[in-house]
Chain A
Amino acid sequence: MITAPITLLSAALRERRLSSVELTQGLLDRIARLDPGLNAFITVDRERALADAKAADAAIAAGRAGPLTGIPVAHKDILATAGMRTTCGSRMLATYTSPFDAHVVEALARAGTVLVGKTNMDEFAMGSSSETSHFGPVKNPWNPECVPGGSSGGSAAAVAARLVPGATGTDTGGSIRQPAALSGVCGLKPTYGVCSRYGLVAFASSLDQAGPFAQTAHDVALLLNAMAGHDPRDSTSLDRPGEDYARLLGEARGVKPLAGLTIGLPREYFGGGIDADVGQALDSALAEFRALGATTVEVELPNAGLSVPVYYVIAPAEASSNLSRFDGVRYGHRAATYGDLTDMYRKSRAEGFGAEVRRRILVGTYVLSHGYYDAYYLKAQQVRHLIAEDFRRAYRTCDVIMGPTAPTAAFRIGAKTDDPVQMYLNDIYTVAANLAGAPALSIPCGFDRNGMPIGLQIQGNYFAEARMLDVAHRYQQATDWHRRVPAVAA
C-alpha cells in the first residue's frame, strides 16, 4: 500500500484505512533499508517527518484534509528548507541551513505534505548524471551501476524506488525530465514563472524552474496544483488566475479520449542519433496515442540543433554571476588558512566547488568578458529568441510535441565523467523548453535491451500543462509502463 501513487494514498488516508504516521513510518523504514544502496537522500529527518505526519493525521481527523494532506514528499536539496540543511550537493554549503522555506516548500507544507528529507543532486544542479555531488553519486534503482540522470537524480531515484510517492526537482536544462526518463518516473518542468523561484538556489535564473516528480501524471497534477501560484517575492513569478491542473483528467471521453489531439513530431528529433531501443519505444508510444484518437503531424524546429550550444553559453554565464555570493565571507565554506583577501576567495571557492561547477564558472565568466560578450552571450540570447519562435510556429499546427526525453537510457556511472561535451549532449532534447520558457513533461514509455527505462517527452505551449497532463494520463490509463517497479523496490 505505502508504495502506491498519491491518488490512492490520498483516498486511503481520507478513508482512514491508513494513517499518515503509518505511511511515513513505513517509508522511513524503506529509506533506511534501501537508500544506503541508492544514495538518493542527503538528509532524512525522521522526527520532523513523524511530527508532520501526526499533524496531518490530526487535520484529516478534523476534516481539514486536502488531496495532499499526509503525503510524504522529499525536496531536492537546492530548495531552501528552514530547519533542515540545504547543501546544493556542494561542499560549499555542506553545513548550511536556510532561515526560510522556498516558495514551493512552503506551498507543499501548506498543502499538508510530510517532509521526509532532502534529495541528492549534481552539485548546484550542474550535471546530467547526479555524479558530481559532494555527497557521492546517486545510483539508478533499476541498476545501481548506472546513473539515475540529473541533476535531480536523487528525487527521481527516490520516487522510482518508491521511497516517497512524490518529490520536487528543479529543471534548468532538463534536470527534472532527463532523470525522470532515466529512472522511469514522471517529471514535469512547468512554464517559466508558474512556480516561484523564491528559495530555489539559483543556477541559471532565466532558465531555472521547479517542478514535481511522481509515479503518475495524475499525481504530478496534484503536486503542481500545490506548487504553482503567484509569489510577489519572485519578480519573474507570473500573476495569473490559479488553475486545477487535474481538471481534464476525470472527463469521460470513451474509447478515443484523445480524438482531436494533434501531436507534432519534430523532424529534427527523429533523425539520426537516437538509440534504436529508444526509437522503438517511441514508435510504440506514438502508435498507442494514435489508437487513443490522436493524429500525428511532422513539424520543424529548425534551430533545435543550436539549443545545446546556446544553453551552454547562457546557463554558465548566469551561473558565474549567481555563484559569486559563495565567497566564504558570510556563510558557506571558508578555507582554514589563507593570506590576503584574494587568497581567501581563491582557496575558499577552489575548495568549496567541485570540478564541474568550477568549469561552468570559468566558461560563464569568459563569455561575459569584455570583448566576448557580443560574440557569445548576446548572440546566444538572439538565437534563444529564434528557438522560442520555432515553437510558436510549430504550435500553429499541433497541440503538443512529442519525442525522446534523452538520446539513450541510463548510462553507467563514470562513463561520461571525463567528457563534458558527451555529458552535455544528454540535454539535446530538453534544453529547448528551458530556453523557450515552455512546459515539458517526461513519462515512462518502455525499456531498452538492458531493462533500463525510456522516457517520452511531451512538450506544450505556454500554460498547456493541464492539457499535457491529460494527454499523459490517457496514455497511462491505457498502458502500464509507469507501474513498473525496479526489482530492488519490489
Chain B
Amino acid sequence: MSWETVIGLETHAQLSTASKIFSGASTAFGAAPNSQACAVDIALPGVLPVLNRGAVERAIRFGLAVGATINRRSVFARKNYFYPDLPKGYQISQFEIPVVQGGTLTIATGEGEKTVRLTRAHLEEDAGKSLHEDFHGMTGIDLNRAGTPLLEIVSEPDMRSAAEAVAYAKTLHALVKWIGICDGNMQEGSFRCDANVSVRRVGDTRLGTRCEIKNLNSFRFLEQAIEFEVRRQIDLIEDGGKVVQETRLYDPDRHETRSMRSKEDAQDYRYFPDPDLPPLAIDDAWVNRVRAELPELPEAMKVRFEARYALPAYDARTLTASRELAAYFEATAAAFPGAAKLAANWVLGEVSAALNKVERDIADAPVSATQLAGLLRRIQDGTISGKMAKDVFDAMWAGEATGNDAADAIIAARGLTQISDEGELARIVDEVLAANPAIVAEWKAGKERALHSLVGKAMQATKGKANPAQVNAILKKRLGA
C-alpha cells in the first residue's frame, strides 16, 4: 500500500521594523530582559495600540511579491487567552480579513518547478518569552519580544514530501530576505515554521487527519520532523490506529514529535475585532508606491539571466538564491562582458566554495566582483590557465594584492604569465621529443595516452606556464598526428 504525504506550512516571519507593531519600543535582538518593553508592551492599564505603518508596508511588499490580493480593508482582532508572557491576555492578530490574500510561490523540486498556493498572510504581534531556568523553581518573564511584528504566511496543503516542504520554506526564506521585510535569522527566531502534516492513500482525494508540528526553527528540523511524523502516522494507520488531530512538538535530540495538546484541549480564543484599532485601510496610492519600489523579484531575475546571459536554468536559479549573490554575478558579468558563463561558473564554484569554507556572506567576500572579472579576463585571453587562475584567486582571497587589477598584480609578481609564444613553445616541444624517445615510440605504436604524457612533460618543463592547448597542437603537428 503506498501513501501520499500532504503538507501545508504556516510561517512566522519577523518583520524588520525598528520598532514594535503597536508601540515605539525597539525590536533589536539580545537586549537585557525587559529593557525593551514599554508601557504598551507591558499592557499597563490605560495604554492603547498604535499601528506601525512600516509593518503594514512590509506586508504589502510581500503580497505584491507573491502576486496576492492586498485587501484594501483588513481587520485586527483579539485572540484571547491567558499566559504570563502574553501581557494583555490577548494577542492582536488578523482573523477574518487578513491584509494579504492568495498568491503563489514557485519552488524547485526534484521533478522540476512546482507552484505552491498561498492561503493568506496576516499581521500580528509576537508574545514575550517565559524563562523556566535560573529562577529557583519560578518562571521569569521577558517581554522584549512582546509586540514584535510578525507576518504569518499560510500555505495551502500543496507540498507532497518533506523535501518539498523544505524547498518551499527555503524559497520563502530567500524571498522575505530578498524583498527586505525580514532578516531571516532563524537562530534568533526571525523565521520559524509550523508544519501541518497528514497522510492519505495514493488516489484518495480527501485529506487525512492532520497534526500540526510547532516552532521548527531550522530547515533540517523541519525536514526531520516531517519525516518522523509521516512515518508515525503511516505506522499508526497501518497498525489499525487513527491519527488524532493535535498539536505536536519536535524534539531534535530524540528525533521525534511529541503530543502537546489535542483538539479537545484546544482553547476557545473568542476572537473579536479589536475596538482599539479601526479597520486597516490601504489605498491604491500606497500599494502603487510599494509596487514601484519593489526590487526585481528572484523569479523574474532568473528568467532574465537565462535570456540575457544565456545561462542554463540551474545556474540562473542558483545565482538568484539571494539578491547579494545575483548582484555579485551581475557586477562580475558587467565588468567583463561576454564571458557570463565563465563568470557564473566561478561565482557558483570557487567563490561560493571559498565563502562556505569560512561561513561568510557574499557581501563580505574579500574578492570583489571587479577583481574577479580581472581574473576571468586573464583566463579568457589565455594569459593564465584555469589551474593557475585558481592559485591567483586564492592569493587574491588571501589579500596578496588589492585594487581592481589585483589579478594582474599577482600574475606579474608570481611570474605566472602563460607561455603562448608559438616559437618558444615549439622549441620546448622539440626538447621534450628529443628527451623522451621511449614515449614517442609508444605513441607511434598506437598508444593514445602517450600524447598526454608528452604534454605533461612540456608543462613540467615550463613549471605549468605553457599554454596546454597550444602545446597539444604543436605536439600533434610534430608527430604528424
* Chain B binds chain A: yes
Q: Which residues of A are interface residues toward B (Cβ below 8 A)?
A: 79-80, 86, 88, 93, 96, 98-100, 102, 197-202, 204-206, 232-236, 317-318, 320-321, 323-327, 329-331, 341, 345, 365, 368-370, 373, 377
Whether A325 lies near B88 (C-beta < 8 A) is: yes
Whether B45 lies near A93 (C-beta < 8 A) is: yes
Rounded to whole angstroms, the CA-CA distance of A93 and B270 in the bound complex is 26
Partner of A201, one of B45, B90, B276, B277: B45
Whether A345 lies near B270 (C-beta < 8 A) is: no
Q: Assuming A96-B45, A201-B46, A325-B45, what are 5 further A-B pairs, CB within 8 angstroms?
A: A86-B46, A99-B39, A197-B48, A235-B49, A235-B278
Whether, in the assembled complex, B42 has its beta carbon less than 8 Å from a beta carbon of chain A, the answer is yes
By DSSP majority rule, is chain B's interface helix, strand, loop, or mixed?
Answer: loop
Partner of A98, one of B44, B48, B270, B276: B44
Whether, in the assembled complex, B314 has its beta carbon less than 8 Å from a beta carbon of chain A, the answer is no
List 19 A–B pairs whose Cβ atoms lie within 8 Å, in order of A's numbering: A80-B46, A88-B45, A98-B46, A100-B46, A102-B46, A199-B46, A204-B275, A234-B48, A235-B48, A235-B276, A321-B272, A323-B89, A324-B88, A329-B84, A330-B141, A341-B84, A368-B270, A368-B271, A370-B268
Whether A321 lies near B89 (C-beta < 8 A) is: yes
Residues of B within 8 A of A199 (CB): 46-47
Cβ < 8 Å to A, chain B residues 14-49: 39, 42-49
Rounded to whole angstroms, the CA-CA distance of A365 and B271 in the bound complex is 11
Residues of A within 8 A of B49 (CB): 235
Residues of A within 8 A of B82 (CB): 324, 327, 345
Whether, in the assembled complex, B51 has its beta carbon less than 8 Å from a beta carbon of chain A, the answer is yes
Rounded to whole angstroms, the CA-CA distance of A41 and B109 in the bound complex is 72
Whether, in the assembled complex, B294 has its beta carbon less than 8 Å from a beta carbon of chain A, the answer is no
Q: Which residues of B are interface residues toward A (Cβ below 8 A)?
A: 39, 42-51, 78, 80, 82, 84, 87-90, 141, 268, 270-272, 275-278
| Closest-CB distance, A316 to chain B (whole angstroms) | 12
Rounded to whole angstroms, the CA-CA distance of A254 and B295 in the bound complex is 70
Whether A369 lies near B268 (C-beta < 8 A) is: yes
Residues of A within 8 A of B141 (CB): 329-330
Inter-chain CB contacts under 8 Å: number: 96
Measured CB to CB, the nearest residue on chain A to B82 is A345
Whether B275 lies near A318 (C-beta < 8 A) is: yes
Residues of A within 8 A of B43 (CB): 325, 330
Whether A198 lies near B270 (C-beta < 8 A) is: no
Rounded to whole angstroms, the CA-CA distance of A324 and B89 in the bound complex is 5
Residues of B within 8 A of A330 (CB): 42-43, 87, 141
Residues of B within 8 A of A329 (CB): 84, 87, 141
Residues of B within 8 A of A341 (CB): 84
Rounded to whole angstroms, the CA-CA distance of A373 and B49 in the bound complex is 24
| Closest-CB distance, B436 to chain A (whole angstroms) | 87
Measured CB to CB, the nearest residue on chain A to B78 is A321
Whether A331 lies near B44 (C-beta < 8 A) is: yes
Residues of A within 8 A of B271 (CB): 368, 373
Given A235-B50, A236-B278, A341-B84, A327-B45 contact (CB < 8 Å): no
| Closest-CB distance, A250 to chain B (whole angstroms) | 36
Whether B80 lies near A321 (C-beta < 8 A) is: yes
Whether A368 lies near B50 (C-beta < 8 A) is: no
| Closest-CB distance, A481 to chain B (whole angstroms) | 35
